Amino acid sequence: MEKSALQKERAAYQPKLPKALNGAVKVKEGAPTQSVDNQEEIKNLFPNTYGMPVVEFVESDEPNNKRINVGVILSGGQAPGGHNVITGLFDQIKKLNPENRLYGFILGPNGLVEHDYMELTKEIVDDYRNTGGFDMIGSGRTKLEEEDQFEKGLEILRELDIKALVIIGGDDSNTNACVLAEYYAAKNCGVQVIGCPKTIDGDLKNEQIETSFGFDTATKTYSELIGNIERDCNSARKYWHFIKVMGRSASHIALECALQCQPNVCIISEEVEKNDMTLNQIVDNLCQVIAFRASQGNHFGTVIVPEGLIEFIPAIGRLIQELNDLLAAHGAEYKDLDADAQREYIIAHLSKENAATFETLPADVARQLSLDRDPHGNVQVSLIETEKLLSDMCAAKLEKWKAEGKFVGNFAAQHHFFGYEGRCAAPSNFDADYCYALGTSAAQLIANGKTGYMAIVKNTTRPAEEWVAGGVPITMMMNMERRNGKMKPVIRKALVDLDGNPFKTFVGCRDRWAKETCYVYPGPIQYWGPSEVCDQPTKTLALEHVK
């Protein structure tokens, strides 16, 4: 592997740890817990891992020298900091006992099932300290749901004398970790399973999980790019830039980037849903901003669009839900039809209301809504060019307004989608520290005999030495939801809180941002320099902790 000058220097960075994790620790247990909803159903599904207490690590005078081999899996989409979870895990298990070994399963959960693994030695781990990406062992999206997968995994775990497995992933991956923990606990296999909260989308958070790792780095990366576009926009003064950002199930990335960059418009999907807005209403609101700025001689602007917007428009959301169920049940007879026959099939099998919505959509959008699903049965909304759909509809409406004398000026659009650009960036100081602490916490959860837990770190707007580390039972975050036409236990996603301080702060500014040019240019992530530049958390996290 060739190393850049940055990577060589960055390897020497020693992540900061909470004070309690710097030496021997013991567990302080809280009260028993219950799931966020559907308590009886979740309890019945997870009788061996339900109701466990939240735990916190505190300093101890008694060292723990537990002898244990550990396996680690990177699951789902990449997020900055994943390698530091592994390095924190590695360093801590070696600190517990130098004889301990860490094994990485290749290309995600499938590596466990297919017995594809490598031992992670100091030489390997040192090459990836403070780097982005998941390329140390790769990632994958295989779902661990079936008993034969659990048993195949158990074969290699026993062969390698692995007593604990750490799954680093998002809400679906950690749901799988919980299912696996329950299975191994029920069979008394002697294998612990621990999760770590990963997703740049920011939707894996709650009272116990303040933020998912990767969100800090990804939003700062996107904000740099958006700021660059804003500066170009303010220089040329002739284009409206429609910028789609990641976030299928929630608008956390869009909101954070708006708070950092102050665009003219940022659409928040959760607000669209709450207000029962139609696609035409969204376009009308955009055109009013465009027309006002044109009347002031400003024929340019920036619009941030969350990736999952289309699903949050209530009429389209209802359509997608029925499409998900329809294709889950009858996908086999549908998939081999040609495009025209597929359209006719869908219209014939949808309810009258949803069929009418489907017929009103532009043909390419309707087609994209009925494409293959992702492994979790969801519409692949990142394939839908929502940013272009909005700008095309704005262009058509503005042309009509111009004929009516309601719009004077020019409208020309540019389109951008920021997705992969942020998923593997070199982690910020925050994510480097946070992830190293998560990996260290995962090791301590294992050393203290826990299973079915997710590693957590709290108090993260304070200096790292004041952070509080521990673990939360995964069942505490679960409820029942419909997936692929069936009710399944899943971790509840966290949406943008419309009553929360971050959104209220945004609402208090957006009218001025729409009319004036208030752009902020954040610039690239800084790794060395003043703490207020290098170590600051996201705007969202800071605002959520304002007393």
**Residues recognised as catalytic:** 201
Looking at residue 305, its amino acid is: V
The CB density around residue 405, as the number of other CB atoms within 10 Å, is 7
Tell me how far apart the alpha carbons of residues 422 and 257 are, in angstroms, rounded to a whole number: 12
Tell me how far apart the alpha carbons of residues 202 and 215 are, in angstroms, rounded to a whole number: 6
CB 456 within 8 A of CB 260: no
CB 459 within 8 A of CB 475: no
CB 118 within 8 A of CB 106: yes
Tell me how far apart the alpha carbons of residues 157 and 406 are, in angstroms, rounded to a whole number: 69
Contacts of 240 (CB under 8 A, 6+ apart): 290, 300, 301, 302, 303, 391, 394, 411, 412, 413, 414
Tell me how far apart the alpha carbons of residues 461 and 389 are, in angstroms, rounded to a whole number: 38
CB 244 within 8 A of CB 416: yes
Q: Which residue do the tokens 């290309």 mark?
A: 107
Tell me how far apart the alpha carbons of residues 123 and 115 are, in angstroms, rounded to a whole number: 22
φ/ψ of 107, rounded to 5, equals 60, 40
Distances in whole angstroms, Cα of residue 545 to Cα of each of 283, 332, 458, 502: 34, 49, 11, 10
Tokens of 145: 């749901």
Longest dimension (CA), the chain: 80
CB 282 within 8 A of CB 313: yes
Tell me how far apart the alpha carbons of residues 316 and 354 are, in angstroms, rounded to a whole number: 8
Contacts of 277 (CB under 8 A, 6+ apart): 313, 314
How open is the CA angle 486-452-132, to the nearest 5 degrees? 90
Which stretches does DSSP call E strand in 60-123?
69-74, 102-105, 117-119
Looking at residue 213, its amino acid is: F
Query: In terms of DSSP H, where are the helices of 404-428?
Result: 420-423
Burial of 292 (0-12, 13-18, 19+ CB in 10 A): middle
Tell me how far apart the alpha carbons of residues 205 and 201 are, in angstroms, rounded to a whole number: 10
Tell me how far apart the alpha carbons of residues 366 and 345 are, in angstroms, rounded to a whole number: 13
Tokens of 22: 């710097």
Q: Strands across the sheet with 240-245, in order?
A: 265-266, 301-306, 240-245, 413-418
